[in-house]
Copies of this chain bind each other. A is one copy, B any other.
């Protein structure tokens, strides 16, 4: 949203075109009614033409300054203490940890190492196409307004295969977008751990599941119960949410 506002002077058409119109009016609900795909569209069109280096700097500036309107925290502080603990626990026991997110990989990379202890090459995420070019004699990668890969739903096992090349032993998700990843993990040999984090805490965080446009958790919840996967109830199971 911040980026769309910054750029809106150069895009008069956004005053009338959705989802940009709604975003500029601060009407988040309408802007996000199209779900994750509409969100990706916004991200693509608001960042094409930048080099990957410029984009990285934009993300760094934003992540180190933007605060959530409700919690007043930096967004990068709104991560889950129990998840940081499980990541540390797994790493201390010889696991290699990865993030496999529907989010943009170039958006996550500038801060996941600091926040999660996960380096840039251990990320799988959605991405736009980029093009190698020389600008003023300098090699750059230019972001194109074209989707390269959507790391969501059936795309998650595909992304895991293409980026990591091994099947996970443990996988943690919080939405139907993670279901195929958990199914893929469950299909492995030996023992596996499949966990759904269920957002159930309206006071300390948010509560949403079957009806949500973003982060919908419906089929996943049914399958978790049916298959006996672990479902974490944030409200009742987590003593601490944010670090």
Binding site for B on A (CB under 8 A): 52, 96, 98, 105-106, 109, 119-123, 127, 130-132, 138-141, 148, 154-155, 157-158, 161-166, 180, 183-184, 186-187
Contacts and interface: CB of A to CB of B under 8 A. Distances in A.
Given A120-B164, A162-B127, A162-B148, A187 B139 contact: yes
Contacts of A132: 154-155, 157-158, 180, 184
Given A139-B187, A187-B138, A163 B130 contact: no
Q: How many copies does the complex hold?
A: 2
Contacts of A155: 132
Contacts of A122: 121
B161 A163 contact: no
A214 B192 CA distance: 43
B183 A139 contact: yes
B161 A52 contact: yes
A167 B140 CA distance: 11
14 contacts: A52-B161, A96-B121, A106-B165, A109-B165, A120-B166, A121-B163, A127-B162, A130-B161, A130-B162, A132-B158, A132-B180, A139-B184, A141-B184, A148-B162
